[in-house]
């Protein structure tokens, strides 16, 4: 785990681990004429899945201290 991951995990701001913001998704949609909206949503899903995995690992580590 990198130092950056540890900082993100220990941060009290859970939104740091979230994916693209609504503004970023909207800009992507406008800039690409809607062509990349599915790609953006796929990246958001992947980001949320990664977030859940990181939190699960953090919980596992915490419980096994």
What's the N-to-C CA distance of the chain in angstroms? 17
Q: Which of 59, 19, 16, 12 is nearest to 40 (CA)?
A: 19
Whether 44 has a pLDDT exceeding 50, the answer reads: yes
pTM of the predicted protein model:
0.40
Express each pLDDT in 5-29 by its tens digit. 444 444 444 444 456 677 776 766 6
- Res 28: pLDDT: 64
- Res 13: pLDDT: 47
């Amino acid at each position: 785990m990198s130092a950056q991951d540890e900082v993100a995990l220990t941060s009290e701001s859970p939104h740091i681990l979230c994916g693209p913001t609504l503004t970023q998704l909207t800009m992507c949609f406008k800039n690409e004429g809607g062509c990349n909206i599915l790609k953006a949503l796929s990246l958001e899903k992947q980001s949320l899945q990664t977030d859940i995995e990181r939190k699960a690992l953090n919980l596992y580590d915490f419980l096994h201290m």
